[in-house]
């Protein structure tokens, strides 16, 4: 394994918490993700459905978990594909029932071909059927998840059942992290932090954005990460202003800012961290001004991630901090702000996104929009200022745990203060020198 095994107790506890939330007389069904085909003879890299992983720890495709709750008993059933010689030869060892049971702690194990008979025998005995489908906002790819297809089939076959959402229950649970999850997110941040330090050492005028990506990739994979948690961003100059820049194909030039937005995925948990650094290791006066404005906002914004806070209110507070800093930078005028439209506030020209999102098994983790923050929630804090006219984009992003005693930054070890970045870039073994010497 690339990561230390998560104990089956963790997955069993998650199932118990879910079963407590289910009404009696319910059966809940969780599907793995589809393996997505490429245009030719292949598939995109597989990633397990996060809800199924959260409840079972199984990372293999073609897996289904069924939880049953009636007045007398609770039952857990896991269906995996039958292991076969061909898959073992082409893909490596596939899970057998005993191994899947050891990982998940689920009591009843089956092969997938038994599912039809199981549904025929068991579903008629339940009043509620809960199916897990992706109900998060902003996902409009047109691709339907397996749960969606299963829901249609079950409705055709058992039309008089009461159908409901398993996802809404799971989302409530996943929003509050167990200590074990916090440790895994912290580990993903630490891995990312090591990669950031290598990057600070590596960056100099003349390097390509993709060369930095290669250094980051090597670092996180060597430390046991499975992959990047999302397409990493290495954007220099004007690209530092592109919010989800992903080409990473340009050359970093002297005098430019470089925005790095990188997260390792460790044991399926994400980090999501941003820093903006000067390509030549020294901030210009203007770059410093903008950097310090973002740093001030972030410090205050981290401090506001507190129990009871609603994210919509939080974002309004950050927007006000942003307006004040943009005035200080000479980018907005107080008078114009006084007359701005509520729907199109002027700061949007320089700050186009939000500052906090939940993070966990998904980088933009599942959440219920207006639920006040609770102890154990983990969020990013990522204010940014993007001045297209000056080709200066600066974003600082950290991962923050909400506790009763206040926010705890899980990514605190990564250099961030302006002088720290400059010192770090000046003192590290310089690939700048190596590069300069070959030119």
126 contact choice in Mn ion, ligand GLY, none (CB below 5 to 8 Å, kind-dependent): none
Query: What x/- string results for residues 393 through 432 when contact with Mn ion is judged by CB under 5 A?
Result: ----x-----------------------------------
**Least distance in angstroms from the C-beta of 50 to ligand GLY:** 16
Is 327:394 a contact under the CB 8 Å cutoff? no
Q: Alpha carbon of 206 to those of 175, 203, 217, 232, 439: distances in Å?
A: 43, 9, 19, 20, 10
> Which parts of 127-166 interact with ligand GLY (CB under 6 A)?
none
Of 109 and 400, nearer to Mn ion (C-beta) is 400
* Residue-by-residue DSSP string for 206-271: T-BHHHHHHHHHHHHHHTT--EESS--EEEEGGGGG-TT-----SBP-TT-EEEEEE-EEETTEE-
Both tokens assigned to 390: 């000056």
Do residues 79 and 114 make contact, with C-beta atoms less than 8 angstroms apart? Answer: yes
**Contact, 32 vs 252, CB < 8 A?**
no
380 lies in the binding site for Mn ion (CB under 5 A):
yes
Kindly tell me which residue out of 11, 79, 230, 234 binds ligand GLY, with binding defined by CB under 6 A: 230
Burial grade of 159 (CB within 10 A; 0-12, 13-18, 19 or more)? exposed
Cβ proximity to ligand GLY, 261 vs 323, nearer residue:
261
230 touches, from ligand GLY, Mn ion, none (C-beta below 5 to 8 Å by class): ligand GLY
Q: Which of 261, 265, 325, 398 binds ligand GLY (CB under 6 A)?
A: 261
Residue with tokens 């909400």: 402
Q: What separation, in Å, do the N-terminal and C-terminal C-alpha atoms of the chain show?
A: 42
Of residues 94 and 380, the one with the C-beta less far from Mn ion? 380
Query: Assign residue 181 a region: left if phi > 0, alpha if psi is -120 to 50, beta otherwise?
Result: alpha
Residue choice 190, 211, 272, 295 for contact with ligand GLY (CB under 6 A) = 272
Q: Which is nearer to ligand GLY, 49 or 192 (CB)?
A: 192
Cβ proximity to ligand GLY, 105 vs 383, nearer residue: 383
Exactly one of 59, 213, 215, 382 binds ligand GLY (CB under 6 A); that residue is: 382
Residue 365 touching Mn ion (CB under 5 A)? no
Nearer to ligand GLY by Cβ, of 230 and 291: the residue is 230
Q: Which of 59, 209, 261, 295 binds Mn ion (CB under 5 A)?
A: 261
Query: To the nearest whole angstrom, how small is the minimum distance from the Cβ of residue 162 to ligand GLY?
Result: 37
C-alpha–C-alpha distance, residues 294 and 298, integer Å: 6
Q: Does 196 bind ligand GLY (CB under 6 A)?
A: no
Binding partner at 347 among Mn ion, ligand GLY, none, C-beta below 5 to 8 Å by kind: none
Rounded Cα gap, residues 345 and 386, in angstroms: 15
Indicate the residue among 132 and 397 with the shorter CB distance to Mn ion: 397
Residues 6+ apart with CB under 8 A from 106: 15, 56, 65, 76, 77, 78, 100
Interface segment toward Mn ion; rule CB under 5 A; list 111-119, 157-165, 301-309, 377-385: 377-385
In the bound complex, what is the minimum distance in angstroms from residue 270's beta carbon to Mn ion?
Answer: 9
Interaction pattern, residues 396-415, with ligand GLY; x per rule: CB under 6 A? -x------------------
Tell me how far apart the alpha carbons of residues 148 and 142 are, in angstroms, rounded to a whole number.
Answer: 12
Burial class (CB in 10 A: 0-12, 13-18, 19+), 179: exposed
Distances (CA, A) of 198 to 3, 191, 253, 415, 434: 22, 11, 19, 12, 15
Smallest distance from Mn ion to CB 357, Å: 6
Write out the residues near Mn ion by the rule CB under 5 A. Answer: 261, 272, 380, 397
Residues that bind ligand GLY (CB under 6 A): 230, 261, 272, 357, 382, 397
């Amino acid at each position: 394994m690339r990561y230390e095994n998560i104990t089956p107790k963790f997955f069993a506890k998650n199932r118990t918490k879910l079963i407590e939330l289910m009404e009696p007389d319910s059966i809940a069904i969780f599907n793995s993700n589809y393996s997505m085909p490429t245009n030719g003879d292949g598939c995109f890299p597989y990633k397990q459905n996060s809800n199924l992983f959260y409840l079972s720890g199984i990372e293999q495709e073609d897996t289904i978990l069924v939880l049953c709750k009636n007045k007398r008993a609770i039952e857990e059933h896991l269906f995996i594909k039958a292991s076969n010689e061909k898959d073992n030869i082409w893909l490596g060892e596939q899970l057998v029932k005993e191994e899947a049971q050891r990982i998940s702690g689920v009591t009843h194990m089956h092969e997938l071909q038994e599912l039809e008979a199981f549904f025929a025998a068991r579903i008629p005995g339940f009043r509620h059927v809960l199916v897990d489908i992706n109900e998060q906002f902003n996902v409009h790819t047109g691709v339907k998840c397996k749960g969606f297809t299963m829901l249609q089939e079950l409705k055709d076959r058992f039309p008089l059942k009461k159908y409901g959402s398993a996802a809404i229950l799971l989302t409530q649970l996943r929003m509050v992290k167990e200590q074990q999850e916090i440790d895994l997110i912290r580990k993903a941040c630490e891995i990312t932090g090591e990669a950031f330090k290598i990057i600070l050492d590596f960056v100099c005028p003349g390097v390509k954005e993709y060369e930095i990506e290669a250094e980051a990739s090597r670092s996180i994979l060597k430390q046991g990460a499975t992959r990047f948690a999302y397409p990493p961003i290495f954007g220099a100059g004007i690209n530092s202003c592109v919010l989800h820049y992903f080409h990473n194909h340009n050359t970093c030039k002297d005098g430019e800012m470089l925005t790095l937005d990188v997260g390792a995925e460790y044991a399926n948990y994400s980090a999501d961290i941003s820093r903006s650094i000067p390509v030549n290791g020294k901030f210009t006066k203007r770059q410093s001004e903008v950097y310090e404005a973002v740093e001030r906002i972030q410090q205050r914004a981290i401090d506001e991630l507190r129990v009871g806070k609603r994210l919509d209110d939080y974002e309004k507070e950050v927007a006000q901090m942003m307006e004040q800093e943009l005035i200080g930078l000479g980018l907005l005028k107080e008078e114009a702000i006084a007359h701005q439209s509520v729907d199109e506030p002027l700061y949007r020209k320089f700050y186009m996104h939000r500052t906090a999102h939940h993070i966990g098994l998904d980088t933009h983790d599942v959440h219920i929009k207006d639920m006040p923050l609770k102890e154990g929630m983990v969020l990013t804090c990522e204010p940014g200022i993007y001045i297209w006219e000056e080709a200066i984009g600066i974003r600082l992003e950290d991962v923050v745990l909400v506790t009763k005693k206040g926010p705890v930054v899980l990514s605190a070890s990564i250099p961030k203060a302006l002088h720290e970045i400059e010192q770090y870039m000046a003192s590290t073994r310089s690939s700048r020198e190596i590069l300069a010497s070959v030119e």
